[in-house]
């Protein structure tokens, strides 16, 4: 599913988005949650997507083409305190327009830190996606930072907070690779493509 992935464009406006009609999966999350690491882990590349030491930097939609058949879209991280108000408003405008209008969007992967309590911004995004009937998949990342029991316990708390069931999310770690194959499987189903975990 990810045998060939290449960077396509860093888009700052809707007019710059590809118009070839290929399906896409978008990735959203708070700055520093581990979004870039997750995408790199998923596609099996060390650093195609930059893992940033300076959060809140990317304000564009970064497009990656996978196997010439669909796009992965790295959305700008949100919720970083040091980003000026004006940039926050800009994030909202571009992202809201993108999420509402993008007909080829199949799913938004919402990434949250497994260790944290439910954050208002994450809950707001999830509720808004739900209200717009935009399919989403929750990923609880950095699972390696908790013991197995604690991770399961924390995941249940987040499930209740987001009002989802365990099948609507993936416990993930970019460090250990936990949840990687499960995530690929779920995305393959959404995109209706074959993946490594299936028989060929």
Ligand X SMILES: Nc1nc2c(ncn2[C@@H]2O[C@H](COP(=O)(O)OP(=O)(O)O)[C@@H](O)[C@H]2O)c(=O)[nH]1
The least CB distance from residue 122 to ligand X, in Å, is 13
Q: How far is the CB of 162 from ligand X (least distance, A)?
A: 18
Q: What are phi and psi of 141, to 5 degrees?
A: -100, 175
* Closest residue by Cα to residue 70 from 156, 195, 199, 173: 195
Nearer to Mg ion, 36 or 178 (CB): 36
* Residue of this chain nearest to Mg ion (CB atom): 36
CB of 31 to ligand X, least distance (A): 5
Task: Compute the residue count for the chain.
Answer: 200
HSE toward the beta carbon, residue 57, CA cutoff 13 A: 10
Residue among 30 and 186 whose Cβ is closer to Mg ion: 30
Residue 55 interface partner, choices Mg ion, ligand X, none, CB cut-off 5-8 Å depending on type: ligand X
DSSP H helical ranges for 6-119: 35-43, 85-101
- Return the H-helix or E-strand segment holding 70: strand 70-74
Compute φ and ψ for 9, nearest 5 degrees.
-160, 150
Partner touching 169 among ligand X, Mg ion, none, CB below 5 to 8 Å by kind: none
Q: Least distance in Å: CB of 110 to ligand X?
A: 12
Judged by CB, which is closer to ligand X: 41, or 187?
41
Rounded CA gap, 172 and 67, in Å? Answer: 23
Query: Which of ligand X, Mg ion, none does residue 186 bind to, with CB < 5 to 8 Å depending on kind?
Result: none
The residue within the footprint of Mg ion, chosen from 28, 36, 64, 171 (CB under 5 A), is 36
Going by C-alpha positions, the residue among 151, 156, 176 that lies closest to residue 168 is: 156
Q: Which residues bind ligand X (CB under 6 A)?
A: 29, 31-37, 51-52, 55, 77, 141-142, 144-145, 173-175
Q: How far is the CB of 19 from ligand X (least distance, A)?
A: 27
Q: For residue 170, what are the β-bridge partners?
A: 139
How big is the chain by its Cα radius of gyration, in Å? 16
144 binds, among Mg ion, ligand X, none (CB under 5 to 8 A by kind): ligand X
Q: Which residues bind Mg ion (CB under 5 A)?
A: 35-36, 52
């Amino acid at each position: 599913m990810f045998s060939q992935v290449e960077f396509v464009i860093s888009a700052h406006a809707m007019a710059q988005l590809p118009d070839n009609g290929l399906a896409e999966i978008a990735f959203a999350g708070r700055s520093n949650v581990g979004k870039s690491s997750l995408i790199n882990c998923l596609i099996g590349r060390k650093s195609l997507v930059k893992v940033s030491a300076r959060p809140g930097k990317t304000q564009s939609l970064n497009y990656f083409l996978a196997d010439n058949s669909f796009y992965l879209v790295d959305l700008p991280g949100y919720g970083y305190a040091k980003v000026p108000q004006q940039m926050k408003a800009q994030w909202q405008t571009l992202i809201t327009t993108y999420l509402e209008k993008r007909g080829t969007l199949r799913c938004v992967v919402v990434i949250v830190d497994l260790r944290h309590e439910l954050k208002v911004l994450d809950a707001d995004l999830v509720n808004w996606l739900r209200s717009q009937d935009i399919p989403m998949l929750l990923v609880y990342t950095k699972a390696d930072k908790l013991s197995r029991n604690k991770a399961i316990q924390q995941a249940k708390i987040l499930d209740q907070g987001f009002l989802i069931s365990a099948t609507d999310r993936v416990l993930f770690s970019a460090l250990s690779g936990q949840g990687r194959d499960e995530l690929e499987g779920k995305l393959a189903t959404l995109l209706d493509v074959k993946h490594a975990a299936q028989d060929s």
